[in-house]
Structure 1
Amino acid sequence: MIYYTYPGFRNKALTISYDDGLWSDVHLLEILNRYGIRGTFNLNSGCMQEERRIGKDRIAELYKGHEVATHGVEHLTIARCPMTDVVKEILNDREALEELTGKIVCGHAYPNGSYSHEIKTLLPSLGIHYARTATDSGKYTHPQDFYEWNPTCHHNNRLLEHAKEFLAFDLPQFQYLFYVWGHSYEFDRDKNWDVIEEFCKMTGGREDIWYATNAEVCHYLMAVKSVYTSVDEKILFNGSGQDIYLLRNGEKICIHPGLYSV
């Protein structure tokens, strides 16, 4: 019997996703870093000259240890745009963000939650591996479609209740994924920084949770699908480029890329 786990043989993962790159990200990052929580920040490269936005010269250092993903050059509501504009919004944003961070940018958050089947079909050819919606699922499960990745909840949607529920899960046969999203400026607007602080205090620094960026979750789950076994499960092959963690009849096994036999 084989159960795949997250890295470190954990069966819980936590990731977050915050949009727009406003200066309030600085405070949010201070809180996240204090509690060891990691996530993804979706930026608009064409808006960084605005006074309330984080400037280009701060991007690489500020978001170090986290992921930077695309959110459209100008934050257009892309389902209303010609496909040529959609391509430019995403590809040009990706190129600019890669230049600023020195890293491959492969994620996307739909601006204003706007997308269509046609846009989803286009994203792989633009080098985008996943895209987050603005629709709360209320669930702690893997996405059925990485190009329509519905998060668990917005931070204003019963966040602490969700956190308590997530922490209480302890069935080893399940892989739980808690995904929080929002905009950091909302904490200033709603005067509720205490909510995210309490959330991080509750969920951070735990041995049973894998803290990951959106891309890390996506790539790991894709890598798991590259593992195949013999019928008796004594021979396993990991066709990915990263280690895969699993439980085989209760025994912890880390499969490095390539062939593994028991």
Structure 2
Amino acid sequence: MYHSVGDRSDDPYRITVTSERLEGQLAWLRRRGLRGVSMTELLAARARGGARRLVGLTFDDGYADFVTEALPLLRRWGCGATLFVLPGRLGGDNAWDPLGPRKPLLTAAGIRYAAAEGVEIGSHGLTHIDLTRADDLALQAEVTESRERLAELTGARVDGFCYPYGTVDVRAVRAVREAGYAYACAIDPGPLTGPHALPRVHIGQNDTAWRLGLKYRLHRLRRRPVGGW
């Protein structure tokens, strides 16, 4: 689970990795015979029993630096990824982070460019609200309308959803499943773990080679098995 790539001189939420750090992390994967892929590719391979050497790479929020900083590195290292974006904030910024700093989000053109380069585009909701606190109308809009807008924007089916803040409950999972998404990503959903509440590992600037190795080995021990396939 990544967010922003670039300058991290002001990074109170630890959501940013430098380009140099991301390149080192991708190189670490490749040296071990692993390859970063989109979530759809990972799950399709898993269904065939062939996901052993694959790692799903996700980038939340749809920051503009994905196209300028992350995408060239993904191409250089032969990796794919899923980019979760907010169609209700196209060309805006991360106004939901009260401490800042303000980071620009991708425009519609930027999202289309990423999609044309082979990046899977998924929904992060419309505006980045906590779905567990949303009323029924807002929940429906964040889940269903965001999917419809992205399908229209990219001309492609939108199969993936990502819960803002990683917060998830039974009601949110049900809404996402009923909206037609094939899968959804959370962070550590505990007993809700399944196709529509997939666990992820946060990767940050401090994740050097030995920390990556530790996280890779511990992930299966810390997370519940994903059933329901």
Normalising TM by the smaller chain, what interval? 0.5 to 0.7
Q: Which residue of 1 aligns with 2:55?
A: 14
Q: Secondary structure at the match of 2:200?
A: coil
**Pair 108,157 (structure 1): closer, same or farther in 2 beyond 3 Å:** farther
Distance 1:49 1:166, change over 3 A: closer
User: TM-score, with normalisation over the residues of structure 1?
Assistant: 0.55
The match for 1:93 among 139, 142, 146 is 146
Counterpart position of 1:34: 76
**Amino acid paired to 1:160:** A
Contact 1:136 1:151 in 2 (8 A): no
Contact kept? 2:58, 2:82, Cα under 8 Å? yes
Equivalent of 2:201 in 142, 152, 174: 152
> SS of 1:147's equivalent?
coil
Aligned to 2:66: 25
**Alignment match, 2:87:** 45
Misfit runs of 4+, over 4 Å: 5-10, 165-168
Question: Offset of 1:65 from its aligned partner?
Answer: 1.0
Distance 1:147 1:29 in 2: 26
CA distance in 2, matches of 1:62, 1:121: 29
Aligned to 1:81: 134
Counterparts of 1:10 and 1:106 in 2: how far apart (Å)? 19
Taking only the aligned residue pairs, the percentage that are identical comes to: 21
Residue range with higher mean Cα deviation, 9-18 or 122-131: 9-18
Runs of at least 5 residues in structure 2 that lack an aligned partner in the other structure: 1-44, 94-103, 221-225
Higher helix residue share = 2
Q: Return the alpha-carbon distance in structure 2 between the equivalents of residues 150 and 157 of structure 1.
A: 20
More strand by share: 1
- Equivalent residue, structure 1, for 2:37: none
TM-score of the superposed pair, with normalisation by structure 2: 0.62
Choose 1 or 2 for highest CA Rg. 1
Structure 1: state its 5+ residue gaps.
138-142, 169-175, 178-217, 226-262
Give how far 1:54 is off.
1.4
- How far 1:8 sits from its partner (Å)? 9.7
The aligned amino acid for 1:132 is C
Change (3 A) 1:159 1:13: farther
State the AA in 2 paired with 1:155.
G
Q: CA RMSD in A?
A: 3.2
Of 169, 172, 182 in structure 2, the residue corresponding to residue 119 of structure 1 is 172
Higher RCO (Cα < 8 Å, 6 or more apart): 1
Q: Specify the code of the residue in structure 2 equivalent to 1:40.
A: T
